[in-house]
Amino acid sequence: METITHRKEGGKTYESLVISRRVDGSPITIPVITVEGGGKGPSLGVVGCVHGDEQEGPAAVFRLVERLDPRRLVGRVVFVPVLNLPALEARKRGNPLDDWDYDMNRLYPGGPSGSLTQRTAHAFCEAILSRMDMVVAIHSGGSNIYCVERVILHGDAGMEMGKAMGPRWELIAKGVGERAGIADMVTIAERSGKPGITLELGGVSGRLPETFRQNVTSIVEGIENVMRYFKMVPGEVKRPREWIVTAYEPIRNTQGGILIFEEGCELKKHVKGGTPLVTMVDVFGNVLERITAPYDGIILAVPAQPSLPSGGAQIMSIGKVQEVLT
């Protein structure tokens, strides 16, 4: 696979892996920034923009790279600020030109002769994931929902990493129902023996500069805490008072319409099953559908769009508390 090396300076290497080319000959690439430390330590992967409308990932990567001193690092960190470049350029979840494989986070490990999204996932697994011992995938609610800090686990292997994210990341969520067994990056990484976590924080409602900066800080400080936990960098490991482990599933609408947010619809709120969350109304204000909490739980993500198309959009998620760890 063709690799373009842009520069190497002070233990930091900036490269691009060429996946395909545009009509003008310019390459469509996966950018990779590798920070090499000394000594024997793990290789941590940090990946952003699997979904192109989730810019929290690259912003966090750039700050992590800037703050990371290779002379104080044991092991290696492989950063991929933007995995899905065509999706980022379009500012969409997936590559809008890829009619068959829109969502990259459902088709790992991809394939070498499939669509551009398939090929990108495949190149990532072959040439980049193979250089990582463990992986953090940074996600957010993108254009659709807004998420509170939540570590998503895909199996038990990621629990140690998830608990190492530090004080703001006390919510740990395991996907159940439609979320169980999806072919996302971290699930596939864990099948090849590499523990991983998915981070969810932010989304379109958090794009005011100050909120966005705070969310990026939360991601950066969490990943730095993971590096301290695995003794890749010196410093005290911080931890929350407790971890709340939940099982979550997305809640979807059936009717399209304008959303009226009910008082129960509040991020991080504990709600009882049956609590009204959202009422979908038509253009005259007539009620089309009432969405209530399907079970007791904590609201992990709220709608970020005050109107929705018909049928099955993921509008929020609620985590059912499984256990509290101290």
* Minimum gap (Å) between residue 249 Cβ and Zn ion: 16
CB of 184 to Zn ion, least distance (A): 9
Between 54 and 101, name the residue whose CB sits nearer to Zn ion.
Answer: 54
Q: Are 189 and 128 in contact (CB under 8 A)?
A: no
Strand order in the sheet with 276-281: 287-292, 276-281, 257-261, 307-308
Among 63, 76, 122, 139, binds Zn ion (CB under 5 A): 139
Number of residues that bind Zn ion (CB under 5 A): 3
Q: Where are the beta strands (DSSP E) in the chain?
A: 3-9, 12-21, 27-36, 38-47, 74-80, 134-139, 145-153, 171-175, 196-203, 243-252, 257-261, 270-271, 276-281, 287-292, 297-303, 307-308, 314-325
Stretch of 43-51, 74-82, 201-209, 211-219 contacting Zn ion, by CB under 5 A: 43-51
How far apart are alpha carbons 147 and 141 in whole angstroms?
6
CB of 75 to Zn ion, least distance (A): 26
Binding part of the chain for Zn ion, among 62-70, 139-147, 246-254, 267-275 by CB under 5 A, reads 139-147
Q: How far is the CB of 135 from Zn ion (least distance, A)?
A: 14
Segment contacting Zn ion (CB under 5 A): 45-53, 60-68, 208-216, 308-316? Answer: 45-53
Q: Which whole-number Å values give the CA distances from 223 to 33, 66, 114, 141, 305, in the listed order?
A: 16, 14, 33, 19, 29
- Contact region with Zn ion (CB under 5 A), list: 33-41, 48-56, 62-70, 298-306: 48-56
- Nearer CB in complex with Zn ion: 83/308: 83
Give, as ranges, the residues between 54 and 93 that touch Zn ion (CB under 5 A): 54
What is the number of other CB atoms lying within 10 angstroms of the CB of residue 9?
7
CA-based torsion, 204, 292, 311, 251: positive or negative = positive
CB 197 within 8 A of CB 186: yes
Nearer of residues 182 and 244 to Zn ion, judged by Cβ? 182
Quick one: which of 29, 30, 31, 51 contacts Zn ion (CB under 5 A)?
51
CB of 51 to Zn ion, least distance (A): 4
Residue type at 85?
L
Residues lying near Zn ion in the complex (CB under 5 A) are found at: 51, 54, 139
